[in-house]
Amino acid sequence: MMRIYELPDYDSMSRRAANIISAHVLLRPSCTLGLATGSTPLGIYRQLIRQYEAGDLSLEETRCVNLDEYLGLGPTHPQSYRYFMQKNFFDHININPENTHVPDGLCPDADAECARYNQVIKSLGGVDLQLLGLGHNGHIGFNEPGRSFELGTHLVDLSESTINANTRFFKSSAQVPHQALTMGIKNIMEAKQILVVVSGADKADIVRRAFAGPVSPDVPCSILQMHRDVILVGDTAALSELRKANVSIGS
Ligand code: GLP
């Protein structure tokens, strides 16, 4: 089943998605949230921080597992996803640091780290709600086009387009990591519910291919059509192409 919410702009999209996350936490404070980085979720984290500051939300018992991390970047590197999560979310709320999980980019043995991370997810009872952004080439987490849908957490070589898209965050392209540790499609599909967030006209094409095109490893996010409980929250610009594809969209 898929529910689609269309909101007029980025801020209202972020508020709606944050409300879906906080509803989960309020109903079951010890739930496990799968979290994501990228620019799209930033507004959601700001909203959740506001709800916490207003006394409307507590994450004291909540557990979080992040999708991915660059290989070679540690928690103090400003472009690491652990750093991103601390600065944009965890440092501002009452989450127990022991309940925040991000793959270890400095691990000496990537295979062992991937196995450990799968075990972490399992020990938390799986992910209750997985937040996802979409890469322009259809990647989710760092699951790039053409890879198997069967994988758990694994080491990936980043595609040229992802490296190029990420270069803006680094001083030079030579500094952009070429590998990452990511939850696999298998981990993502095992989440009980998935919340996809999209914003901006530049995502309109991939949103249509994800949800109204054929399911194919060439468009990793298209596998989400096979999940039983997906919520897509997007702004009008990001949903503009999907709307033409005759899908039912709510407000
Ligand atoms: C990165 C992350 C993805 C994210 C994507 C899109 O590659 N690994 O999880 O969805 O960027 O990011 P943005 O939201 O900035 O478009």
178 is catalytic: no
Does residue 107 register a pLDDT over 90? Answer: yes
In a domain, 249, yes or no: no
What per-residue confidence (pLDDT) applies to 161?
84
How far is ligand 1, taken at its centre, from the CA of residue 151, in Å?
Answer: 19
In a domain, 251, yes or no: no
Which range is least confidently modeled, 92-101, 115-124, 138-147? 138-147
Which range is least confidently modeled, 57-66, 122-131, 153-162, 212-221? 153-162
Nearest Cα residue to 131 out of 212, 233, 238 = 233
165 vs 56, more confident: 56
DSSP category for residue 41? T
Q: Which whole number is the average pLDDT over 168-185?
A: 91
- Residue among 134, 142, 162 whose CB has most ligand 1 atoms within 8 A, to mutate: 134
Q: How many domains, in total, are found in the chain? A: 1
Contact partners, residue 39, CB within 8 Å, separation at least 6:
none
Complete DSSP assignment for 146-160: TS-TT--SEEEEPPH
How far is ligand 1, taken at its centre, from the CA of residue 119, in Å?
Answer: 24
In a domain, 197, yes or no: yes
Cβ–Cβ under 8 Å, residues 216 and 144: no
Q: Which domain holds residue 15?
A: 2-244
Does residue 159 register a pLDDT over 90? Answer: no
Q: Which whole number is the average pLDDT over 64-85?
A: 97
Calculate the average pLDDT of the chain: 95
End-to-end CA distance of the chain: 17
99 is catalytic: no
Cβ–Cβ under 8 Å, residues 20 and 232: no
Nearest Cα residue to 37 out of 132, 160, 129 = 132
List ligand 1's pocket residues with C-beta within 6 A: 36-40, 67-68, 133-135, 141-142, 162
Task: Say whether 119 sits in a helix, a strand or coil.
Answer: helix
In a domain, 250, yes or no: no
In a domain, 190, yes or no: yes
State the pLDDT confidence band at 147, using cuts at 50, 70 and 90: confident
Report pTM. Answer: 0.96
What per-residue confidence (pLDDT) applies to 166?
85
In a domain, 39, yes or no: yes
Which residue is catalytic, options 6, 24, 113, 137? 137
In a domain, 149, yes or no: yes
Does residue 215 register a pLDDT over 90? Answer: yes
State the pLDDT confidence band at 223, using cuts at 50, 70 and 90: very high
State which ligand 1 atom lies nearest to the alpha carbon of 134: 10
Task: Say whether 176 sits in a helix, a strand or coil.
Answer: coil
Q: Which whole number is the average pLDDT over 81-105?
A: 98
State the pLDDT confidence band at 172, using cuts at 50, 70 and 90: confident
% residues pLDDT > 70 (the chain): 100
Q: Which whole number is the average pLDDT over 152-177?
A: 89
Does residue 174 register a pLDDT over 90? Answer: no
What per-residue confidence (pLDDT) applies to 189?
97
What per-residue confidence (pLDDT) applies to 148?
78
Residue 129 belongs to domain with CATH number: 3.40.50.1360
State which ligand 1 atom lies nearest to the alpha carbon of 132: 10
